[in-house]
Amino acid sequence: MADDLDAFLAAHAQPRALPASLYAGGEALWQRLHRDPPRDARWGRFLVAMGETASERMHDDAAAAMWFRRCLDAEDVHRDAEACVAAGHGQAVLWERSGEAGRAEQAYRAAAEEGFRCAAAGTVVLRAACAAIRLEFARSESLSNPGFALAKRTWLAWTRLHVGSPGAVEGDLADQLGLQLCSFLLPEDDPTLLAAAWRQLAPHELDGWRDASPACLRSLYELAAAAADRHLRDEGEAPGQPYRLLAAAVRP
């Protein structure tokens, strides 16, 4: 049983896996195991993987929604907060794809908040939070106080991940986070004002990671430098350089 689940998850991680065969194999596993599933995180990851396979590879959103719901309903079995966050994010993607932006925004926010509540602030939590912030701004052309609080938690989590593993967030997610950092936090004229603007936003810590600590500020400046170079190139040559100098000046 364990070997079969591990084999399915390994196959799901391979982009070249044949979708129909992968999905059929997952359905067979479900039929064999769902009455007495393994009580560990692999069961949650399996249910999310089936939802992602249905959504992204089979283009069957109804089936995807069913699998994501099964993951959420089975939380007391697998007890995997990250799987539940991924399932909530997956359902939000389905709603956004179908044009239900309001429901999608609420689902993205709920998934992100659950991840922060459970201290499981990995990349899927950042992705859900980014999407919630994006949809709120698209709806109202501004961020509410809860929206800024969610953004601050997201940036805190990002700075912490960057310290522990600088390459942990990359690609389109790093682009989205960087764009929101430029849009909602970076000062327009004076980069030295970033630390003050950062500390004015609540909350001021995330699971012991404090916004005024030297390590956090250095990480923030490094991420700001990369974001400015990526998204503010029309404002002059090397717009991230002031933030790099600020990062270098922060003593560990």
pLDDT tens column, 72-120: 999 999 999 999 999 999 999 999 999 999 999 999 999 999 999 998 8
DSSP state, 203?
Answer: P
Q: Which residues lie closer than 8 Å to 121 by C-beta, 6 or more apart? A: 115, 153, 157, 160, 161, 206, 207
Q: What is the mean pLDDT of residues 68-72?
A: 97
pLDDT at 2 over 70: no
pLDDT at 47 over 90: yes
Identify the three-state secondary structure at position 209: strand
CB 23 within 8 A of CB 54: yes
> What pLDDT sits at residue 23?
95
Considering only CA atoms, which of 59, 70, 62 is closest in space to residue 33?
A: 70
Phi, psi of 166 (to 5 degrees): -55, -25
pTM: 0.91
